[in-house]
Structure 1
Amino acid sequence: MKQFIDFIPLLLFFIVYKTEPRLVEFAGQHFELGGIYSATAVLIISSLVVYGALFIRQRRLEKGQLLTLVACLVFGGLTLAFHSETFLKWKAPVVNWLFALAFLGSHFIGDKVLIKRIMGHALTLPDAVWNRLNLAWIAFFLFCGAANLFVAFTFQDYWVDFKVFGSLGMTVLFLVAQGIYLSRHLHDSDPTTPKPEE
């Protein structure tokens, strides 16, 4: 569920981006609604609201949530400050690659790979399986970053659609594949599960 909370600001961004640009009045001020820049402002505001609510509820933000929020503020802020969508196009690739770097670094720093630190409280698996799963997450984040970058600068008319639905679709497919992979190994770690006859 937590993975999909991250998509709430992205969906609001998409809705505003697709809205036909028009002036709206709020608190005696006129604002343009629709298009990339108002959508970026909505992305920043909704991210602050969503992650602010999570912080109030949980008393903390997970590192991934904090990274996503900071990236949104930095790249979204630069987009608005310089009136250039190029900065926003780099957000998804950079965030994905930073996640890949964190998962990769966990192979060399600490006593557990990152995916085991995240999911180890819920599952007991052999270290070899955790390592393979961690490598799969690295590959996933590298691929997502590269795909977002390629679409953003090659198919500029579709990059927002891909940013929202492509990213969501890739995440869902990867989580399903991860579930299938894990289901093959769960019985190995449960001593009460009878082994099949050889």
Structure 2
Amino acid sequence: MLLCRHIPYLAATVKQFIDFIPLILFFIVYKIDPRTIELAGHSLPFGGIFSATAVLILSSVLVYGGMLLVQRRLDKGQWLTLVACLAFGSLTLLFHNETFLKWKAPVVSWLFALGFAATHFIGDKPLIQRMMGHAIQLPQPVWVRLNIAWIVFFLVSGAANLFVAFTFESIWVDFKVFGSLGMTLLFLIGQGIFLARHIHDGDAEAVPTANKKD
């Protein structure tokens, strides 16, 4: 029973890591020494920040396009990520300036934080409850605390990405991929532990109630 309750959470976690596929491809191409390759009779630059940005845009379109075909829909967060990738990536290529791409992660993170925060004042449920409430039953104060945790996570993630991008420029791409992935993984593990404790408590409380009915 407990495992069944965790399946939707695990599915959501897997979906979140799918979002990192374009970033990983971006990192691989960025690390390749710049060179010229022949493709369909054309000489194209490959390797470095700008071809990596082009790969990021293309892979994002393919990944989210594939998800749209399979699921028939994308979450609002996935739409935001895709639009931000297209916007900041296109500006980076158009002006040949990586500064635009450096702002992508902070802006997206802070917009997510704003979205989670807004639901404390708009609507009757925190955003995380709307996302996971169909799969997990929690007391309302717990949902509120969990939603606040997501707000803090996105604020910290955005600030960390911005700080590294403009302070430690030699490693900002490494941090953009593996730093963000590491922070997300640690947060999801912490959230999983937090949820498991409350789900377990909920199951334990349900047993006496059921016995009283017998």
Q: TM-score range by the shorter chain?
A: over 0.9
Can you list the C-alpha shifts for 1:95-115, whole angstroms capped at 9, x where unaligned? 000000000001111111000
Paired position in structure 2 for 1:132: 145
SS of 1:30's equivalent in the other structure is strand
Structure number having the greater helix percentage: 2
1:95 maps to a residue whose letter is V
| Distance across 1 between alignment mates of 2:20 and 2:50 | 19
| Distance across 2 between alignment mates of 1:87 and 1:158 | 17
Can you list the C-alpha shifts for 1:98-137, whole angstroms capped at 9, x where unaligned? 0000000011111110000111111000000000000000
Tell me which of 168, 192, 195 is aligned to 2:206.
192
Paired position in structure 1 for 2:54: 41
| Distance across 2 between alignment mates of 1:101 and 1:79 | 25
Paired position in structure 1 for 2:3: none
Once the two structures are superposed, the pairs formed by residues 15-94 of structure 1 within 5 Å of their partners are 15-94=28-107
Alpha-carbon shift at residue 194 of structure 1 (Å) = 5.3
SS of 1:70's equivalent in the other structure is helix
1:26 maps to a residue whose letter is L
| Distance across 1 between alignment mates of 2:208 and 2:24 | 45
Alpha-carbon shift at residue 192 of structure 1 (Å) = 2.6
Q: Is residue 2:27 matched to residue 1:14?
A: yes
Can you list the C-alpha shifts for 1:27-78, whole angstroms capped at 9, x where unaligned? 1111110000000000000000000101111111111110000000000000
| TM-score normalised over the length of structure 2 | 0.89
| Unmatched tracts of structure 2, length 5 or more | 1-13, 210-214
| Distance across 1 between alignment mates of 2:31 and 2:146 | 37
- Among the aligned pairs, what percent are the same residue? 70
| Distance across 1 between alignment mates of 2:208 and 2:159 | 43
Residue-pair matches, total: 195
| Distance across 2 between alignment mates of 1:123 and 1:91 | 32
| Distance across 1 between alignment mates of 2:62 and 2:195 | 34
| TM-score normalised over the length of structure 1 | 0.96
| Unmatched tracts of structure 1, length 5 or more | none
Paired position in structure 2 for 1:102: 115
Alpha-carbon shift at residue 193 of structure 1 (Å) = 4.0
Report the CA distance shift for 1:174/1:101 in structure 2 as closer, same or farther (over 3 A).
Answer: same
SS of 2:73's equivalent in the other structure is coil
Q: Would the aligned equivalents of 1:93 and 1:145 in 2 still touch at CA under 8 Å?
A: yes
What do you get for the CA RMSD once the two structures are aligned?
Answer: 1.1
Alpha-carbon shift at residue 189 of structure 1 (Å) = 3.0
| Distance across 1 between alignment mates of 2:207 and 2:184 | 31
Once the two structures are superposed, the pairs formed by residues 169-180 of structure 1 within 5 Å of their partners are 169-180=182-193
Once the two structures are superposed, the pairs formed by residues 111-190 of structure 1 within 5 Å of their partners are 111-190=124-203
Can you list the C-alpha shifts for 1:145-170, whole angstroms capped at 9, x where unaligned? 00000000000000000000000000
Deviating beyond 6 angstroms after TM superposition, the runs of 4 or more aligned structure 1 residues are none
| Distance across 1 between alignment mates of 2:138 and 2:171 | 40
